[in-house]
Structure 1
Amino acid sequence: MITELHDFVRFRLALGRDSHRGILNQCERHEGDSDSDSDSDDVAATVTKEFESYMEDQSTWPDVLDSDRFLRAFGDLNATGIVALADFSCCLSCGTSEIGEVVPDGRERRGYVFAHRQDMENAVAGAGCDLAFGSFGDGESAAGIGEAVVAALRGHGFDPGWSGDPAERVHVPLTWRRIRATSPVSSAAPKAAFRSYGLRTESSSSTPRTPSGAPSVAATSPWPRPRG
């Protein structure tokens, strides 16, 4: 779990799911939960500083990032009937128990693959991303889903590691980061947009929820709808 404020900001920036205001709100909640002495001005200054540093760093990045290829692979998997979600749920246990609830009624799905929040934290840190996968029902084996996941990733230039054992997760060597674009506004409150494959932009207030509270998503999107 990320505890330091500047690390938390960098993670939210790299994840690519929040606007500047959204990150600021997340940070204020984060600091409140951690009983920090930082006030709102300190938090805002840290967010702005890290945002500007991130923008400077991304000027040196290639046009196509690991995350672009990853999300495209997940889009391909969704199109073939495998529910593929990035940043889904908080951990492996919760993600595995909730993944079946995001399949819309009347949709037949072969299986699933997802990266949970802890996986995404590792990916942002450059340690790669581990993927959980499995099958729905008796239609296809978990091993078959794993093979499909590996094939999709290879199709987008990755060299995933997997032993072939369905009890083991697929490891994808990558560093997760998203390109952000800003408009020329005050440095105190930069506005951000995202170049993102399949990122949904509906407001959180309209996001359907499953009985357990997980976001209910269309099975063709590689992102859950925004949370919080």
Structure 2
Amino acid sequence: MSEISYRKIAIDGLWKNNTSTVQLLGLCPLLACSNSVVNGLGLGLATTLALAASNAAVSVIRRQVPDTLRIPILVMIIAAIVSCIELVMHAYTYQLYQILGIFIPLIVTNCALLGRAEAFASKHPPLPSAFDGLMIGAGFTLVLVLLGSMRELLGNGTLFANMHLLLGETARNWTVTLPGYHKFLFFILPPGAFLCLGLVIAGKNVIDERLKARAQVEVAVTPAGGKRVRTTGHIA
């Protein structure tokens, strides 16, 4: 694949085809585990690793899998990879694993994993497939961290609290606290998650509309006078 294709994969995964703000997939873990930055980052990294590994594995065996057994085999591959990730988290980030609870094994049921394995990895070589999974996971992680930041800051008045659960003792003192701020429980509860996600999606739509409007306005330089003329859709 060319460099332009990799660029398109990155833009689609991070922005244009983001699973959280465009496709609205994986909303259950997105809303449930985004009440703090560390929770969102932990789940996002686990999902990203599962996406990249499952896409690569599916791509490697794509020509050996018969169509009649493709979906069950894809599910088994994803489940095996998620189980390995769960065991690693259980060993090295046990407290965070307990906080995230059932949402780690439930990564298997995230439609984004099966969807990318079916739509992309089963039709492309391993390297582009792994990169596609990495970018889709990164887009999901960015939304998780953004929601976690909003909800943690508005709900608890803190930011980056308990980061040592994921990054070790060096991150224990990373907590930023708003002085004199009273906790706003609404943003920690599920209604607050829906509200914050709605604001994120609305903000993305506003940015997309402005980019679209800017793209429709071209600045052309006339050959004779060298003046810049604003045109819409044609060159003056």
Larger relative helix fraction: 2
In the superposition, the TM-score normalised over structure 2's length comes to: 0.26
Larger relative strand fraction: 1
In the superposition, the TM-score normalised over structure 1's length comes to: 0.26
Larger RCO (CA under 8 A, 6+ residues apart): 2
Structure 1 or 2, whichever has the larger Rg, is 2
